[in-house]
Structure 1
C-alpha cells in the first residue's frame, strides 16, 4: 500500500512552529509592494479644444434646435450610397482586417490559458516494467495537482490576460475605423483623379481648338511663327499631362481595390463627383469625447496589463503552496490492479526559494520598468491624439478660407483666359499673355478640386482623431471592450 508523502516522516509540531515563521519572515524582507499607478486619464484632457474656439460663428444659427446626434450626423455627413457599399465590402473582405481579427482570437485563447492555470491538473499514468528474474510489473494511477493561489499571483496573471484581450479587442475596433477612413480617403482621391482627367481632356480639346485657330491665322499671315510654336508646345504638354493623370487614376483605382480585397485591375469607377460637405457649425465637440478612441483604450488597457504583470512578479517572490493527490497501484498482472493493490495518497508542499542570485527581484524590476515605459507610451498616445484633433480643427478653418478664395480666383481666371484670347485675336495682346492666363485658369481649377478633396479628407481625419464612426448606418463588427477591466487595479 502506498502511503501519503506527508505521512512518511512527520516532523514535530514544535519544529514546524519554530522554523516556518523564520523562513517566511526572511522571504518577506525586501518584498515591499510596488507603487500604484499615478496616471488618471480624466485629469489629462483639456476642458475644450483651443482650435475650436470662435470657429465659424456665422453658422451658429443653423445649428439651433438640433440635438447633439443630429448635429454630429450633419458634421460627419460624408456618406453616399455607393461609398457605403464600398465600405461594407472592405469590412467583409479586407486582408488587413482579417489579420487583425486573428490577433484578437490569439489573445482570447491566451486568456483561456491563463484561466486554466487556476484549476487543478488531473492526469492518468499507466506503465509496464520488466525486471530481471521478477517478471512484469503493471502500474496505473490517477494524479491531481493544484497550486493554491494564496498570494494572488495567478489571479494577477489572469487579470493581465483579461486586460491584454480587452486591449486586443480595442485594437481590432481601431483597425476597423482606420479601414473605413482609408476607404473614404481613397474614394475621395479617386474622385479627384477622375475629375482631373476630365478637366485635362477638356483643356486639351480647348487648346487644340486654339491651335487650329492660330494655324489658320499663321497661314493667312495674321500670326507669327513663334505663336504657332508656342501653341503647339502648349497643346502637346497638355496631352502629356493628361497621360500622366490617367496613370495616376489607374494607380488610385488599384489602391482602392486593394483596400476592398479585390484584384487590382483598375476597373473600379467613380461616377459620383466630390461632394460638398457642410461647414463646421456649432457642433458639440467636448474634449472628453476623445476617450472613445479605441487606440487610446488599447494603450490604457495595455498599461493596466503591465501593472498586473508587475503585481504577479511581486507575488511570485512569496512561497507557493501545492496540493497533490494520487490513486492507483501496481501489480504483476493487470487483473490484480482492481483488487486490494490500489491505494490513495494526498500531500501538501510549501516551496520557497531561499537564494536565486536576485533573479526574481530583477524580474520584478523589469516589470516595474515596463510599466513606467508603458505609462510614457500612453501619455504620448494621448498627446498625439490631442495634436491630431487640434490640427484637424485648424486645417478645417484654413482649408475653408482657401477654398472660398480660390473659387473667386477661378472665376477671375476663366474670365481672364477668355478675354486674353479675344484680345490676342484682335492683335491687342501677345500670345504670352494668353499662355499665362491659361496657366492661371488651369491652376485655379485644379486647386479647387484639390481643396475640395482636402476638406473631405480632413473631415475624415477629424472623425478618426475623435474616435467616432463616419456614419451610424454602417454595419461594423464592433466588439465591446470590457470596461470593468478599465479601472486602475490595486497591485
Structure 2
C-alpha cells in the first residue's frame, strides 16, 4: 500500500498552467512604429539589454544617488512590503511540510481509582493504581492526487507575486523620490530666475525714480515699478512654500522627520538623458506590476487542482505505539510496549454540491486574475506611450518656448531703450517685462517637466527590473 501511494505521488489533478495570451505590438508608436515620430530614445546602445538596476544613475547626480539609497534602505513602505514577502515565503515552507509525515510523542502519569462495585472487576484488583504512558504517533497522508503539490504551487506563485509587489513598491517610491527631487530642482531654477528678475526690476525702479526726479516720469510710473517688483518678490516667496512641501515629501520617503531635513539649492540644468525603451514584448518581463498580476493567475490556476482533489478519497498511513505500565520501574521493559498500524481511507459520498461550487469558484477566480493581468499589460503599454508622447511634445514645446523667450527679451530691451529716450511710456516697459517673465517661467517649468517625464518613462519600462529576479521559492 505504501509503495502504491509513493508511486502515485506525482499525479496532480487540475489544469496545467499556461500564462494568459496577450498581443504586444511590434513597436511603440512614439518610437517610429506605423509611421509615428521617432525620438532620441529609439537608438539602443550595446549595453542597453543589461539590467540597469540603479536606473537613476543616468542623471549623474550624486545627491539623488544618495537619496535613492536611503529610500531603498530606510523607507517604511518598502520595509512593510519586504515583510509581506517574508510572510508569503514562510507560508510556502508551511505548506511544503504537508509532504512529510508528522511525528509526535508525549508522556503522561495518572493516578486512577476503580470503583469497588465495578462490574466484572476482579476482587483481588487494587482500587488505586498508577498508569505511566509514553505514546508515539506517526501519521502521513501521501499526496496521491497532488492536492499538496497544487497548494505548494499556489503558495509559491503567491510568494513570487509578493516579491514582485516588493519590487514594484521600491520602483514606485524611488520613482516618486526622483520626480520630487527634480521638481525641487525645477523650483530652484525658477527661484534663480525670479531672483535675477528682482534684481532687474530693482534696477528699473531706480531708473524710474531718477527719471521722476528729473521730471521725465510720473509718480504713477514709480508706483507701477514698485508694484511689479513686490509682485515678483511675492512669487519668489510662494516658491519657498512649494519647495518646503516637496522637501517634506522627500523626508517621508527617506524616513526622516520632516522638520530636520533640508536640501541645498541646485538649479536644474540641461536636457533629459536619452532612455532606450526596447520593444513592447520586453515590457512583459520588465514591469514588476505585470509580473505580480501574472503570478496571481498562476496561483489561482493551482487552486483549481486543490479543489478538484477533494473529489478523490483521503488516504492516511498511520502508526501508534509506545510503552505503558502501572509501575514506572517496568516502563521500559519489552513487555510494556504497545502499538498499532494500518492505513485508513475516507470518501465524501454527498456534499450537496459543495465541491462542485468550490471548483467553479476557483475557475472564476483564475479567469478574474487573467482579465486583471491582461488589463495590467494594456495599462503598461499605455504608460510607456504616454511618457514617450510627453517627452516628444515637451521637447517640441521647449524649442518653441525658447524662441518666445528670446523674442520677449529683445522686446523688453527695445522698450527700455525707448523709455530711456523718452519715446515710450513706462506702461510699455512694464507690459514687456511681464510678458518676458511669464515666458521665462514657462521655459523653466518645461525644463523640470521634461526631466520628470523621463523619470516617468524609466518607471513605465520597469526601471531595469526583470522577472528573472523573482525568487524560486
TM-score (normalizing by structure 2): 0.85
Structure 1 residues 86 and 334: CA distance shift in structure 2, 3 A: same
Distance 1:319 1:268 in 2: 67
Question: Deviation string for 1:220-247 (max 9, x for gaps)?
Answer: 3322233222222211111111111112
Matches within 5 A, 1:109-148: 109-132=90-113, 133-148=127-142
Alignment of 1:87-98 (within 5 A): 87-98=68-79
Label 1:258 to 1:400 Cα distance change in 2 as closer, same or farther (>3 A): same
**2:356 and 2:462 mapped to 1: Cα distance?**
40
Give 4+ residue runs of structure 1 displaced > 6 Å after superposition.
Answer: 33-38, 70-76
Q: Does structure 1 retain, via aligned residues, the 8 Å contact 2:189–2:267?
A: no
Residue 11 of structure 1 is matched in structure 2 by: none
Gapped regions of structure 1 (runs ≥ 5) = 1-32, 471-475, 486-491
- The alpha carbon displacement at 1:76 in A equals 8.6
- 1:176 corresponds in structure 2 to 170
Does structure 2 conserve the Cα–Cα contact (< 8 Å) formed by 1:76 and 1:459? Answer: no
Residue in 2 aligned with 1:458? 453
Aligned counterpart, 2:297: 303
Judge conservation of contact 2:383–2:460 (CA < 8 Å) in 1: yes
Q: How many residue pairs get matched?
A: 441
Q: CA deviation at 1:114?
A: 0.8
Is the alpha carbon distance of 1:236 and 1:271 closer, same or farther for their aligned partners in structure 2, counting shifts above 3 Å? closer
What CA deviation, in whole Å up to 9, does each residue of 1:242-294 have, x standing for no partner?
A: 111112112222222222223323412243633323457xx562112202211
Deviates more, 1:250-259 or 1:390-399: 250-259
User: In the aligned structure 2, how far is the partner of 1:75 from the partner of 1:357?
Assistant: 59
In structure 1, which of residues 286, 290, 297 is the aligned counterpart of residue 283 of structure 2? 290
Identify which of 392, 399, 406 aligns with 1:397. Answer: 392
Q: Is 1:348 equivalent to 2:329 in the alignment? A: no
**Residues 76 and 463, structure 1, Cα contact 8 Å, conserved in 2:** no
| Alpha-carbon distance between aligned partners in 2 of 1:56 and 1:279, rounded to the nearest angstrom | 15
- What residue number does 2:119 align with? none
Q: Secondary structure at the match of 1:364?
A: helix
User: Where do 1:313-324 residues align within 5 Å?
Assistant: 313-324=307-318
Residues in 1 aligned to 2:353 and 2:38: alpha-carbon distance in whole angstroms: 65
1:103 aligns with 2:98: no
Structure 1 residues 372 and 57 mapped into 2: Cα distance closer, same or farther (>3 Å)?
closer
1:27-77 Cα offsets, whole Å, 9 max, x none, are xxxxxx766667544x421111122115666969x969x535399989993
C-alpha contact 1:166 1:481 (8 A) present in aligned 2: yes
Distance in 1 (alpha carbons) for counterparts of 2:391 and 2:235: 30
In structure 2, the partner of 1:268 is: 263
Query: What is the CA–CA distance in structure 2 between the aligned matches of 1:70 and 1:357, rounded to whole Å?
Result: 56
Which secondary structure state, in structure 2, belongs to the residue aligned with residue 46 of structure 1? coil
Provide the residue aligned with 2:27 in structure 1.
Answer: 48
Native 8 Å contact 2:29 2:36 kept in 1: no
Choose which of 328, 331, 338 in structure 2 pairs with 1:334.
Answer: 328
Q: Which runs of 5+ in 2 are unaligned?
A: 1-12, 114-126
Offset, 1:116: 0.8
Question: Structure 2: how far apart are the matches of 1:70 and 1:376?
Answer: 29
1:211 & 1:285 partners in 2: Cα distance?
A: 55
What's the counterpart of residue 200 of structure 2? 206
